[in-house]
Structure 1
Amino acid sequence: MSTLSLAPAFVPTTVRRSTVRLTRRGRLVVFLTSLFVVMTAAFVLAGGAVGTGEAGQPEPTEIVQVAPGDTLWRIASEIATDGDVRGVMNDIERLNALESTGLAAGQKLRVPVLTD
């Protein structure tokens, strides 16, 4: 008679945990080092955001008070000497940070002075 012996195919091994543990001071050092690296990278990358070294020239403007029934189109058409009413409207909206074209009577608007 023959005998059969089986050897186990899978031998479980014990899982070793790392013996390195961070103390409270170690976690603080890791956090502050990471924060320093991030802030340094932000500072270096933001340094290239400078447009020019010279001051810009302000756009010449005047103040116009809105009368009852005035529209932005009418005010822009009075100013636009070259016929570009939409361009002047965009300039007025940009200068006054308007969110819409609605105006209120008595409102003061900064409008561009167009020189030819």
Structure 2
Amino acid sequence: MPLQRRRAVSRPAGAKPADRLSSRPVRHHSPQILPPLRLTRRGRIVFRAGGLLAATVAVLAGVLLLNRPAEAGSEAHEVSMNFHVVLPGETLWGIAGDIAPESDPRDTVADIVDLNALPGPAVNAGQRIALPGK
């Protein structure tokens, strides 16, 4: 095999071998890194308003989905209820005797107190109370 001669490359005076390489375009195979996103004042306001709107919609959707009315099952029964306006001089004991004469008045008075969420068995004239239907 014959020996190959190296050919001399001419360079400008004072040029270094590295200068010759720097003129070539550099190709990177890694993804390009983008500069950080900068928002204007208006952009920040719009961005925050969009986040607030999304959060509000999520909360409202959750409330609407969780606040569905209960469906009546087979154990549902109707409760009849009457109302009575207390006359001057009337007591719950007397009202209980009038609406359920066959049952113990103490139980009926307790039912009226519970039904109306009264603090005790005392009532005032002109007060409207709900009576249990029996």
TM range (shorter): 0.5 to 0.7
Corresponding residue SS for 1:42: helix
Q: 1:26-84: per-residue Cα shift (whole Å, max 9, x none)?
A: 0000100111111111111112x42428x96351536465342x32123324434122x
Task: Name the structure 2 match of 1:3.
Answer: none
Task: Name the structure 1 match of 2:121.
Answer: 101
Cα separation, 1, equivalents of 2:133 and 2:72: 25
Aligned match of 2:70 in 27, 47, 50? 50
Aligned match of 2:54 in 4, 9, 33? 33
Which residue type is aligned with residue 74 of structure 1? G
Q: What is the CA distance between 1:105 and its match in structure 2? A: 3.9
Corresponding residue SS for 1:28: helix
Corresponding residue SS for 2:109: helix
Which residue type is aligned with residue 72 of structure 1? L
Q: Would the alpha carbon gap of residues 106 and 25 (structure 1) be closer, same or farther in structure 2, given more than 3 Å must change?
A: closer
Compute the TM-score of the two structures, normalised by the length of structure 1: 0.53
Q: Would the alpha carbon gap of residues 41 and 86 (structure 1) be closer, same or farther in structure 2, given more than 3 Å must change?
A: same
Which residue type is aligned with residue 43 of structure 1? L
Q: Which runs of 5+ in 1 are unaligned?
A: 1-18
Instruction: State the identity as a percent.
Output: 27
Q: RMSD of aligned C-alpha atoms?
A: 3.4
Q: Would the alpha carbon gap of residues 27 and 112 (structure 1) be closer, same or farther in structure 2, given more than 3 Å must change?
A: closer
Q: How many residues align?
A: 92
Corresponding residue SS for 2:102: coil
**Contact persistence 1:66–1:108 (CA under 8 A):** no
